[in-house]
Structure 1
Amino acid sequence: MLKKDRYKLLIEYFTQHFPEPETELAYSNPYELILAVVLSAQCTDKRVNMVTPALFEAYPTPEHLAVASPEEIFPYIKSISYPNNKAKHLAGLGKMLVEQFSSEVPSTVEDLVKLPGVGRKTANVIVSVIWNQPAMAVDTHVFRVSKRLGLVTKAAKTPLEVEKQLVANIPNDLVSKAHHWLILHGRYICVARKPKCEECPLTHFCAFFQKNFPNIPDDPENKLSGV
């Protein structure tokens, strides 16, 4: 199957079944979202959503966060992964938002990556979710799913290379949605250790499925048992 056909079938399926996907992180404004995304690195959204209500209440604005020390922030996030480093990131992020960005979350990837704890993936999430820009945040889920489905070439070895190929093949107005489609599919169906092919609605165009189960009919309604 040609790669362009895989993209066509992916878009057809998700636009029909999940036309308005959303992030699973809880937030009410760009400031809260950037804190939540920084905390979500190597941590589940579910866990992040458990700690952010108290964090947001304690530090409701960048100004509040800017005067907080990492030691003061730590108790609010101690149950998530790498709390010491993330407490330092949040403290520095608050100060930089106030001092360099007039307490506003930047709207460009170039400015966002200047903030402590914000890499390209986090920046892409922010501009995609808040401003609906055609940015593709490539986390472990997106990287894995795009490879397994056959949406990117084997030569794409880094998140940036995967990002470029995905953005080049998905219409601009759907890139921000496709980001969520791929993440959620990887989180619940195409999991890392043992993908749930028996539940997957995408097997009829999945390169991984076709390679590993060549004798199973190439049928979108097909469901495996005992895979």
Structure 2
Amino acid sequence: MNFKWLPNALTIARCVFAGFVLVGFWQAMRLNPLPNGLDADAVSRQITLQQLWFQFAFLAFLAGAITDFLDGWLARKLDAHSRFGVWLDPIADKLLIAAALLGLGLKFQTWLIYVPAAMIIARDVFMTWFRATPRGRSAIVPSNLAKWKTGFEMAAIIGLMLPLAVLRPDAGGEVSTGTSVLAIVATVAVVGLLWTAAVLSWWTAGQYMRAAGRVK
């Protein structure tokens, strides 16, 4: 039986998971702030429902990240390479990252998330367009920085989404993480990873542009 369609199916699934991430965040945020006048049981049920939507978004992101590994592995294993897959794979990656960043911005509503998220999304939109141009298609940039950038993005997003999924919000809908030194350090580290990924995203874009400029 021919399974060469599997890598492309997983890539398409990653686009669907990106949509699920946004749905999870949107539904969770619709429950925040909690309406006044609810009794304790109603508040508890609504908080639980909100956390379930955050868990839905987190699991959708993880599932999308797993498909990113699997489709590449299967493409090599099955020798299943197609122009459609080559075109869609990076777009699916960017959609998944953008969906998570938009959801996190919607949740935290702070410039500490807005600015790096906007930098990363703007860079990805620009590079998607540029790679579609003749000069962009011809550029080859052998750089490990892009892998580091992706790693920092994934670590930051997981680090920001995980507390929403596993820590129960308080009555105001905010995740209670305590004020311990460890919690503060962890928060600063995760946000720092996101800013580092944002800077690296434009650094690697610059590398790509310079390489494209050398193409004749």
TM over 0.5: no
More helix by share: 2
Relative contact order higher in (CA < 8 Å, ≥ 6 apart):
2
